[in-house]
Amino acid sequence: MATNRYGPARGPVLTALDRAERLFNEFAQISADAPGVTRASYSPTENAAHDIIRREAKALGLEQRTDAIGNHYVTLAGRNREAPVLMIGSHLDSVPHGGNFDGAAGVLAGLVLLERMADGPQPSCDVTLMVIRAEEMIWFPEHYLGSRAAFGLLAPDTPDRVFRSDSGRSLADHMTEAGFNPQVIRDGKAQLDPTKIRAFVEVHIEQGPVLVEANHPIGIVTSIRGNIRYRFAEIKGETGHAGGLPRKSRRDAVLAGAELIAALELWWHDAEEKGKDMVLTFGEFSTHPARHGITKVPGLVRFTLDVRSQDDALLTEFDAYLANTISKIETKRGVEVTLGASTRAKAAPMADDLQDGLSAAAQAIGVPTIPIPSGGGHDCATFANLGIASAMLFVRNENGSHNPNEHMDFKDFSMACNVLTSWCVAEVGTF
């Protein structure tokens, strides 16, 4: 029977990677929602995924606690319980009909690390896996909701102001239903103290094609792009007869939107020509299906806008250009453009010493890596922007992310776990 410092391990003898592979399959089964998987933030399915980690950590004899937000912590005790903790983490929620690896890979890499380290000498400090709630902004229009809530960074009105996209019910309702306490957000009560965290590392699948195209299994993230997001933007014109209204008399919301898109893409193109980092996306753009039709001039368009960059100053510059462009289009086309509430996340550079340490650990065990910026946002940015030394490992992933065709080769995941273990052991203990 397998043992660790906590005594006999329960169940059949498995390697930590065997366990991870089994749990990936179990996550897929409990959240299957063809095509792909769905684990909505603060849903029974997200709860079930957390329960799986809780069950496995108990079987391994690890310490556990859950905070008032619902974030779960699994800890391997260190020799000095008062020393700042080394924290690994990611999330378990997914986008609707998404892939099974986004977020989950980081959680299971952390569990692999703890299981492996439990079989060796006791680390110098606590090593904790943080299983984070509600990272996917598609459910609630707040970036990094679970991790920011853990540090008391959300506005007090967030539980009652923010509503879930599928149900239309408030964050407070969903948190309460899931067994957690929205009052701690209203009261600004932090669940974590940044001064007590030595470092934070997140493993995640890459969400673009860079590692696949470079034929490298692992990327060491250099920075996480900041973003500005408008979730509830709309253009109001005037509905009219498609045949009766001449062009000059129209207040066409679609043509106004098309002009806005063209202008912003041109600005984006010019920014790239100057060597600046930026991506821009109109994720939704639609007329009102009940009010508009083939014989009507459309009087209303709703859209979302997501712009990201590693340069916070560029984001501010873009926002000013957006406002000026909207003003010109409103005057020219007789429409009203309302952007609505926005969210903004600062760019987050990763700690140089952690990047160097991860690179050295990978080189020592023969795992090829390349440096790579993160286009997507991650909870790791919350930690980095609080001054906590932070780093990310990307795992090669075919077919992109936020879709059911995510494809992470398990061998690549194994290499990421090996790099993480090698680095962590060098940081806080040796086998």
Q: Into how many domains does the chain fold?
A: 2
Tokens 């496995």 belong to residue: 56
Structural tokens at position 216: 């490298």
Contact 5, 118 (CB under 8 A): yes
Nearest-angstrom CA–CA distance, 405 and 400: 8
Q: Measured at the alpha carbon of residue 149, what is the angle toward residues 145 and 153, in degrees to the nearest 5?
A: 105
Range of the domain at 209: 3-225+347-428
Residue 98 DSSP one-character state: B
Q: Which of 19, 220, 219 is nearest to 118 (CA)?
A: 19
Whether 90 and 202 share a structural domain: yes
Q: Of 345, 363, 394, which one is at a domain's C-terminal end?
A: 345
For position 290, what pLDDT does the model report?
A: 83
Taking Cα atoms as reference points, which of 383, 324, 327 lies closest to residue 351?
383
Both 337 and 353 in one domain: the answer is no
Q: Is the dihedral of CA 42, 48, 54, 56 positive or negative?
A: negative
Angle at 355 between CA 349 and CA 358, to 5 degrees: 150
Same domain for 211 and 234, yes or no, is no
> What are residue 171's phi and psi, to 5 degrees?
-55, -40
| Residue in 95, 24, 107, 117 with CA at minimum distance from that of residue 71 | 107
- In angstroms, the CA 88 to CA 377 distance is 17
Asked if 69 and 200 sit in the same domain, the reply is yes
Asked if residue 255 lies in contact with residue 408, where contact means CB atoms within 8 angstroms, the answer is no
Are both 189 and 45 inside the same structural domain? yes
Of 345, 363, 397, which residue is a domain's last? Answer: 345
Q: In which region does residue 181 sit, left (phi positive, over 0), alpha (psi from -120 to 50) or beta (all else)?
A: beta
Task: For 66-81, give one letter per residue: b (16+ CB within 10 A) or e.
Answer: bbbbbbbbbbbbbeee
- What local confidence, expressed as pLDDT, does residue 14 receive? 64
In terms of domains, do 313 and 393 share one? no
- What sign has the CA pseudo-torsion 237, 240, 242, 245? negative
199 and 237 assigned to the same domain? no
A 10 A CB-CB count for 396 gives 25
Does 172 share its domain with 252?
Answer: no
pLDDT of residue 430: 54
Tokens in use for 123? 């680390």
Write the single-letter amino acid at 317: E
Tokens representing residue 375 in the block: 């286009």
What are the tokens at 428? 């806080």
Backbone φ, ψ for residue 71 (5° rounding): -65, 140
326-355 confidence digits (pLDDT tens): 999 999 999 999 999 998 989 999 999 999
Q: How far apart, in whole angstroms, are the C-alpha atoms of residue 328 and residue 227?
A: 24
β-bridge pairing 300-309 and 348-349:
unpaired
Contact 170, 360 (CB under 8 A): no
**CATH code, domain with 22:** 3.40.630.10
Whether 68 and 213 map to the same domain: the answer is yes
CA-CA-CA-CA torsion sign (180, 183, 185, 191): negative
**Residues 134, 57: one domain?**
yes
For residue 370, the SS3 value is strand
Q: What is the pLDDT of residues 61-99, one digit of tens each?
A: 999 999 999 999 999 999 999 999 999 999 999 999 999
**Closest by CA position to 64, among listed 154, 16, 128, 139:** 128
Q: What is the CATH number of the domain that holds 265?
A: 3.30.70.360
Q: pLDDT for 360-408, tens place per residue?
A: 999 999 999 999 999 888 999 999 999 999 999 999 999 989 999 999 9
Q: How many CB atoms lie within 10 A of CB 8?
A: 9
Note the pTM of the prediction, 2 decimals. 0.86
Positive or negative, the CA dihedral 325, 329, 332, 334 is negative
φ and ψ of 236, to 5 deg: -105, 120
Where is the domain boundary, 345, 360, 389?
345
Whether 105 and 231 map to the same domain: the answer is no
Average pLDDT per block of 10 residues along the chain, 431 residues long? 39 77 98 97 98 98 98 97 97 97 98 96 96 96 95 98 96 98 98 98 95 97 94 95 94 98 98 96 92 93 96 96 98 97 92 97 97 92 97 95 93 98 89 44
If asked whether residues 75 and 212 sit together in one domain, one would say: yes
